Amino acid sequence: MTREPLDAVLARSTIDTLRFLAADAVERARSGHPGTPMEAAPLAYLLYRRHLRHNPADPAWPGRDRLVLSCGHASMLLYGVLHLAGYALSLDDLKNFRQLHSPAAGHPEFGHAPGVETTTGPLGQGLGVSVGMAMGGRFLAEQVSAELFNYRVYALCSDGDLMEGLSSEAASLAGHLHLGNLIVVYLDNRITIEGETSLAFSEQVATRFLAYDWQVLQVEGENLTEIEMALNAAKADPRPSLIIARTHIAPGAPTKQDSAEAHGAPLGAEELAATKSAYGWDPHQSFLVSEEVRAHMGACRTRGRHLQQQWQELLRDLEKNPSAGLLNWLRSRDGALPEGWDLHLPAFGAADGPLATRQASGIVLNALAARLPLLLGGSADLAPSTNTSLKGERSFSRTGSGRNLHFGVREHAMGAVLNGLSHTPGLIAYGATFLIFSDYMRPPMRLAAMMGLAPIYVFTHDSIALGEDGPTHQPVEQLPGLRALPNLHVIRPADANETAEAWRLAVERRNGPTALVLSRQGLPVLDPDRYAPADGVRRGGYVLAEEEGDLQALLLATGAEVHVALAARELLQAEGVATRVVSLPCWEKFAEQAESYRRQVLPPSCRARVAIEAASPLGWERWVGTEGEVIGMRGFGASAPGAVLLEHFGFTPEAVGKRVKELLARSKDVNPDAQS
């Protein structure tokens, strides 16, 4: 892309405008971080005005370059440059920085302001997401069209980003894969909230990234020529690039430059006025944008419109090509499945069991991959255990972008990378590990739910039944923890057919993430001639089996414990206790159903309710009520064979039956007229 010569005067005027838009907004809000936006203004100017392929009139243009502000506390830098570049972000929006309903939120929020590529705030997340975006871009370039999807991903990061462990995981993976479409700029201002970084951070960052097999370049943060040369060098290298920019926080502030005070608080009226005076600005004017600066940055709109027109013409030409099947798939689907689309999910019979739901999941996943060419994913070095390899597909490596991803033992990075992949047009991304290690993934999972992204998490080895590895590997509190995340659907299927339906829900859901929670141990396949069909999973919960006559007891369960409930029902039936078994694999979907359906499945008149789940009982009170019982885990398990542990901790038909009869007896004591 040919660029006009740099106009030093206009460049400096625009950079200073960005600095004071940020400082003014923070001052007006009486809250925020002025120092980093002020120091990074030269970088933002060069990127948006001269290097990024972007169109302010269409922030979602698929062919655009992406810029991720990993140091999300510098949000006013992003809002300021988006405003000047011509995005639909007004000066009044900037004046309402950090106020209720303002698109200019305290940290960038995806979907709130145009041009914000992802939600950042927790440090390191943006860097991890940018790795996923770069992987997604390279996948589309190699699998769909190198001409359409040759975009680059840029990220701005800070000392804090690089201190967080996530950055090490993500950068290591990016270097291993040679993601040459990823360019990260590190703002090396050597200041954190507590003071100088030397208090806790003295590593050689350049050496670290050279060891990751990145190209490393070093520039002065105010030297536009050096920065531009580094950006050009980064674009030319097949490796990811780290540009280390030596910067000064709050440059030009008479008493607060290079100080921790400039990091997380307004400069103060007196300091801000003195800073403006030092720059030759009117200290009494706020939110000042000259017509010359507006006209200069207006070139972003003209250039962006031209770039997108060229891209659209190329797209039309490529669509005429008979070999453009995957491109047409991407264009027609845009990541969503059409109404009535047949996924060709496998069906399982009783003779196929016993079958662990992790094994059934692998069968279903491969069937889906045959129908969904943009489905890709992998595991945190656990594919043989999680059954998440796509048979016959290539691996994603530095030499090719196949559909099998190898994240290595990097759950935190895997979660963030999945977010970046999920930001990529058309892709359906999944990642797998043991349920116990979902704890390492909580920050990116939370952000995915917040943004409405739709990665799929495959969590196996779902309870104490995994056995001999012991309590360090036996998940107990993870299920209620995941269920507490707003907009995350957690599905724990009871058999192979429920697993198929769980996958259906996951790939059809495009407005939030889904966690599939799967067993290590083999489970019977529920006989459709004896029990209700598994498509009840689509409603989150359903009546699996019951006796005719007056209902006396309800057994509620998920996953492997559904089979314990069914066996307990047989015992109770022999003693004349009419019992209903409810499979409740997805609480979130069940809660979405009409109240009339929920009352039909869980009739309020039946108060003898027992829930069975080999996990912490927290949350089950919503479904069993104050008079019900929960058979769950109140400790951390033990090291022993899984079957031994289940019996030891009371997950047996006999223990369930005993609890039901005790509950019924108590009910009679309270109400002597209750039916027997």
Say what the pLDDT of residue 607 is.
Answer: 86
Say what the pLDDT of residue 674 is.
Answer: 44
The CA-atom distances, in angstroms, between 649 and each of 356, 562, 633, 634, 643 are: 21, 16, 8, 9, 10
CB 275 within 8 A of CB 254: yes
Alpha-carbon gap, residue 62 to 48, rounded angstroms: 17
Q: Per the annotation, does 306 bind a ligand?
A: no
> Among positive and negative, which fits the CA dihedral 129, 131, 134, 136?
negative
Domains by residue range for the chain, with CATH:
8-307 (3.40.50.970), 357-517 (3.40.50.970), 538-670 (3.40.50.920)
Residue the block writes with tokens 């994603």: 396
Catalytic positions, please? 411
Q: Per the annotation, does 473 bind a ligand?
A: yes
- Using the predicted structure, report yes or no on whether residue 398 has a pLDDT greater than 60: yes
227, 263, 262: which is closest to 244 by C-alpha? 227
Q: Per the annotation, does 107 bind a ligand?
A: no
Gyration radius from the chain CA atoms: 28
Region for residue 244 given its phi and psi (left: phi exceeds 0; alpha: psi -120 to 50; beta: otherwise):
beta
Q: Per the annotation, does 191 bind a ligand?
A: yes
Confidence of residue 99 (pLDDT cuts 50, 70, 90): very high
Say what the pLDDT of residue 669 is.
Answer: 56
**Tokens standing for 627?**
């008079």
Q: Report helix, strand and coil shares of the chain as percent, to nearest 5.
A: 45, 15, 40
Q: Per the annotation, does 358 bind a ligand?
A: yes
Alpha-carbon gap, residue 387 to 407, rounded angstroms: 15
Q: Rounded mean pLDDT of 436-461?
A: 98
Alpha-carbon gap, residue 276 to 283, rounded angstroms: 5
Q: Per the annotation, does 635 bind a ligand?
A: no
- Using the predicted structure, report yes or no on whether residue 676 has a pLDDT greater than 50: no
Residue the block writes with tokens 């203004």: 41
Omega cis (within 30) before 354: yes
pLDDT (tens digit per residue) in 314-359: 999 988 886 677 887 777 655 567 666 789 999 999 999 999 999 9
β-bridge mates for residue 559, sequence order = none
pTM for this entry: 0.97
Alpha-carbon gap, residue 490 to 602, rounded angstroms: 20
Phi and psi for 235 in degrees, rounded to 5?
-65, -25
β-bridge mates for residue 192, sequence order = 195
Q: Per the annotation, does 123 bind a ligand?
A: yes
With pLDDT > 70 as the criterion, what percentage of the chain qualifies? 97
Phi and psi for 600 in degrees, rounded to 5?
-70, -40
- Using the predicted structure, report yes or no on whether residue 287 has a pLDDT greater than 50: yes
For 594-617, give the DSSP string.
Answer: -HHHHHHHS-TT---EEEE-SS--
- Using the predicted structure, report yes or no on whether residue 673 has a pLDDT greater than 50: no
Q: Per the annotation, does 33 bind a ligand?
A: yes
**Tokens standing for 34?**
């002025």
Give me the amino acid identity at 321: N
Q: Per the annotation, does 73 bind a ligand?
A: yes
- Using the predicted structure, report yes or no on whether residue 1 has a pLDDT greater than 90: no
Q: Per the annotation, does 239 bind a ligand?
A: no
* Burial (0-12, 13-18, 19+ Cβ within 10 Å), 398: middle
The CA-atom distances, in angstroms, between 17 and each of 20, 33, 47, 172 are: 5, 16, 16, 37
- For 154, the 3-state DSSP assignment is strand
Q: Per the annotation, does 286 bind a ligand?
A: no
H-helix or E-strand containing 136?
A: helix 125-143
pLDDT (tens digit per residue) in 168-187: 999 999 999 999 999 999 99
Q: What is the mean pLDDT of the chain?
A: 95
331, 386, 336: which is closest to 356 by C-alpha? 386
Q: At what angle do helices 125-143 and 442-451 cross, to 10 degrees?
A: 70
Say what the pLDDT of residue 541 is.
Answer: 98
- Using the predicted structure, report yes or no on whether residue 672 has a pLDDT greater than 90: no
Confidence of residue 3 (pLDDT cuts 50, 70, 90): confident
Q: Per the annotation, does 28 bind a ligand?
A: no
